[in-house]
A and B are shown apart, each in its own frame.
Chain A
Amino acid sequence: MEKLVLTEEETMLSDMARGYLDGAAPVAKLRRMRDAGETHDAALWKEMADMGWAGVLVPEAQGGSDMGYAAANLLAREMGKTLAVSPYISTAVIAATALRQVADARAEAALARIAAGEATYALAVDEGIKFDPEAAQMTARADGNGFRLDGKKQFVVDGAMADRLLVLARTDNGLTLFDIPADRAGVTRDRSNMIDARDAARITFDNVEATGEDVLGQVDQAMTVLKPALMAGQGALAAEMTGLAAGAFDMTVGYIKERKQFGIEIARFQALQHRAAHLWCEIEVTASAILNAGRMMDADPDSAALAVSLAKARATQTATLAVQEGVQMHGGIGMTDAYDMGFYMKRARVGAEWLGDYSYHAEQVAAARGF
């Protein structure tokens, strides 16, 4: 396994991403999109695809840049710093990983479309208020050579804008994953008005036709394909949340250095210094877990579950702390809509739930550690 230090290429990739995102996707961009009621910027995603980000996990044979999971996480982290909005995790990370598990011509064509920025994906697994893919109740009834899908999904991130949906449904002897176009007859998408102003949907499947061609991997064997994809998504989301924590932290430290009360900068107060220092320590420790998760996914994906859950658990905890401290240390202004800290707080809350909350992942860690 590569060491827990960024390689020269990784540092360059990070710096390059930062430079681009500061110009193209600052927090102000998210604010403008929210105010305009938009959740997707097709031009931004096309630019990201042109830089190789949509194909970060797509093999070169399909036009991808195939940089691996540690690199994919670095990009996610940089996007998190300024809350960049894109279907990166759903499409470039989760869908690309799922498709890579299936080595057929159909999957390869789909990967090529992802890398080119021509197809966006959303993952439809949640049916209840908590992440629990194995509990999916949506049905895929065998019908002739194909299936009929019936059921409801919620919290489908990027689900309102995506071209295609990865849908998990119950078949006769297990769970099966389908890859279907989002505009197929019988699919109704209701855009969710999310607190973080990002794209998500509640989706109803009413007697939706799926053919054998639409099955990703084997019937009844969804987890073979889905598990690596979920891990990849969880790892990248953890990285994004750590970037988010760092972004909120930088904003907070910048603020307390400027803001004066009782005639001096409030950064001189030891109470605030120690809170800021503690937060920095937490971010630094979490960064190790993120890097490790990426390295494990690259080196030994079959054994990466512990590393990924550790990263997601720590990232959730750290981002939560970062935004809470961010608002508190900003005082009243941190609570206003005009100020950006609230955007960080809301994105952190959504990220905490998506793909498993702290308890879910801490349980995974405990199980992997044998207690």
Chain B
Amino acid sequence: MTAESTPDAFREELRAWLEENCPQEMRDGKMTEEGICWGGKNWQFTSQAQKQWLDRCAAKGYTVPTWPKDYGGAGLNRAQEKIFHQEMGRINARKPLQSFGIWMLGPALLHFGSHEQKLHYLPPIARGEVRWCQGYSEPGAGSDLANVQTKGEDKGDHWLVNGQKIWTSYADKADWIFALVRTDREAPKHKGISFLLIDMEDPGVETRPIKMISGISPFCETFFTDVKVPKDQIVGEENRGWDVAKYLLTHEREMISGGGAGLSGGGRALGAVIKDTMEGLTDATLRADAMRCEVDSLAIGLTLERYKDQAEAGQGAGDASAMLKYMGTELNKRRHELMMTAGGSDALEWDGPLGNRAGDWLRTKANSIEGGTSEVMLSIVSRRVLGLPG
């Protein structure tokens, strides 16, 4: 399939390919914790079909459809990407692979990485061979992200890294981590940070899961003790890591607002989940809430579309992406409150008749905290978009 083919031809080819290659078992749109394939060195496939689906998609570049072919993608343009998602949605296909490598590191590397770095790091992400995690937050930093203290000392051919990260999602399952490290302690706080890629198997890297209110431990603490990081594992320039971090955060915000993984039900239109939950609903108040949620879901979905179209037209969203993060996560919390109410007592058991609905609900409470709190998003909008004084 080529980026040059017409939309109609592309759709036809894609349909035929999906028909032949997407295993029946992968056509339930299941996006719960167990349904997601994260890949990585230690990944245990939950079924033969999950492995087949990943391998077949990876071979076509469909795990990262818009990435260039050289780096493991299919090189799809925006119109084709839309068709790709429509056709995947039509057969309710699961995403073959999800990872922070795809959502966050990939876009940052594509923008800031050298050609060698792209060739080295991107294809294994696309094939699901290497799983990444994000080392941004620190116990004392939180939303004041530029306040990171993890230290990287210049030792000639490498940096010597010491410090602690927190909220490193799935660090216990990741192979590599991309981390913000302070490499110049004298510079103003935004100017002394570098963006380093670190192998989690290196001596001195240790992780511990943090148990959350949802009963699971997606988050970890990660400790670095005299970890040696070779000089070629920096993305962008030394002490200019904040630029990379900011770029990446924009992608993260868009991902979270779009209900990507990390949010249960991700990948499907937000509204579809409400619709399923509300099937046959007669309670007037609940129905009214659901309608309101549906109206907002659809409008936010269209805004994501519009921002993507704008980006393609060379009008990047920039700080306005804080809006997507804020509106998307607040909606997602409302949606899960609604789903709990609709589920009644069935929703109150761990792994009860509705699966882990309660766990998903509790998980959403972090949505408006992770990746910058809703309050921080509003401050970004008010200062940088509206130009209100700080």
Chain A positions near chain B (C-beta within 8 angstroms): 3-5, 253, 256-257, 265, 267-268, 270, 273-274, 276-278, 280-282, 284-289, 291-292, 306, 310, 313-314, 317, 359, 362-363, 365-366, 369-371
Q: How far is the CB of B134 from chain A (nearest CB, A)?
A: 25
Tell me if B299 and A267 are in contact (CB < 8 A): no
**A363-B274 Cα distance, complex, nearest whole Å:** 15
Chain B positions near chain A (C-beta within 8 angstroms): 271, 274-275, 278-279, 281, 287-288, 290-292, 294-296, 298-300, 302-303, 305-306, 309-310, 312-313, 315, 320, 323, 326-327, 375, 377-379, 381-383, 385-386, 388-390
In chain A, what residue has the closest Cβ to B327? Answer: A281
Tell me if B294 and A366 are in contact (CB < 8 A): yes
Tell me if B389 and A4 are in contact (CB < 8 A): no
**A284-B377 Cα distance, complex, nearest whole Å:** 15
Tell me if B375 and A280 are in contact (CB < 8 A): no
Tell me if A284 and B320 are in contact (CB < 8 A): yes
Tell me if A291 and B306 are in contact (CB < 8 A): yes
Partner of A277, one of B281, B294, B309, B381: B381
Tell me if A281 and B309 are in contact (CB < 8 A): no
**A291-B292 Cα distance, complex, nearest whole Å:** 20
Q: How far is the CB of B274 from chain A (nearest CB, A)?
A: 8
Partner of B385, one of A274, A280, A292: A280
Between-chain CB contacts (< 8 Å), 15 pairs: A267-B389, A268-B388, A273-B382, A273-B388, A277-B385, A280-B381, A287-B306, A288-B299, A289-B302, A291-B302, A292-B306, A317-B295, A366-B291, A371-B278, A371-B294
Tell me if A276 and B327 are in contact (CB < 8 A): no
Tell me if B382 and A365 are in contact (CB < 8 A): no
Main secondary structure of the interface of B (DSSP, over half): helix
**A278-B326 Cα distance, complex, nearest whole Å:** 9
Chain B residues within an 8 Å CB radius of A277: 377-379, 381-382, 385-386
Tell me if B298 and A253 are in contact (CB < 8 A): no
**A3-B279 Cα distance, complex, nearest whole Å:** 32
Chain A residues within an 8 Å CB radius of B381: 277, 280-281
Chain B residues within an 8 Å CB radius of A313: 295
**A338-B52 Cα distance, complex, nearest whole Å:** 71
Chain A residues within an 8 Å CB radius of B300: 285
Tell me if B275 and A5 are in contact (CB < 8 A): no
Q: Give the most central of A4, A282, A313, A314: most B CB within 10 Å.
A: A4
Q: How far is the CB of A146 from chain B (nearest CB, A)?
A: 43
In chain A, what residue has the closest Cβ to B301? Answer: A288
Tell me if B379 and A270 are in contact (CB < 8 A): yes
Known: A310-B295, A369-B275. A276 touches B303 (CB 8 A): no
In chain A, what residue has the closest Cβ to B320? Answer: A284
**A147-B230 Cα distance, complex, nearest whole Å:** 90
Q: How far is the CB of A323 from chain B (nearest CB, A)?
A: 18
In chain B, what residue has the closest Cβ to A253? Answer: B386
Known: A268-B389, A278-B378. A365 touches B323 (CB 8 A): no
Known: A5-B315, A277-B382, A371-B278. A253 touches B306 (CB 8 A): no
Q: Give the most central of A253, A282, A287, A288: most B CB within 10 Å.
A: A288
Chain A residues within an 8 Å CB radius of B274: 371
In chain B, what residue has the closest Cβ to A4? Answer: B306
Q: How far is the CB of A101 from chain B (nearest CB, A)?
A: 27
**A284-B383 Cα distance, complex, nearest whole Å:** 16
In chain B, what residue has the closest Cβ to A314? Answer: B299
Tell me if B379 and A285 are in contact (CB < 8 A): no
Chain B residues within an 8 Å CB radius of A371: 274-275, 278-279, 281, 287, 290, 294
The 4 closest A-B pairs by CB, nearest first: A4-B306, A277-B381, A273-B382, A288-B303
Q: How far is the CB of A114 from chain B (nearest CB, A)?
A: 31
Tell me if A286 and B299 are in contact (CB < 8 A): yes
Partner of B379, one of A274, A363, A365: A274
Known: A276-B386, A285-B303. A4 touches B309 (CB 8 A): yes
Tell me if B388 and A253 are in contact (CB < 8 A): yes
Chain A residues within an 8 Å CB radius of B306: 4-5, 287-288, 291-292
Q: Give the most central of A285, A291, A317, A365: most B CB within 10 Å.
A: A285
Known: A273-B388, A278-B378. A363 touches B323 (CB 8 A): no
**A359-B287 Cα distance, complex, nearest whole Å:** 11
Q: How far is the CB of A261 from chain B (nearest CB, A)?
A: 14
**A19-B281 Cα distance, complex, nearest whole Å:** 50
Partner of B313, one of A5, A310, A370: A5
Tell me if A284 and B303 are in contact (CB < 8 A): yes
Tell me if A281 and B294 are in contact (CB < 8 A): no
In addition to A4-B310, A289-B302, 20 A-B residue pairs with Cβ atoms within 8 Å of each other are A4-B302, A253-B386, A257-B388, A273-B388, A274-B379, A276-B386, A276-B388, A277-B378, A277-B379, A278-B378, A284-B323, A285-B296, A285-B323, A288-B303, A310-B295, A362-B292, A362-B295, A365-B291, A369-B275, A371-B287
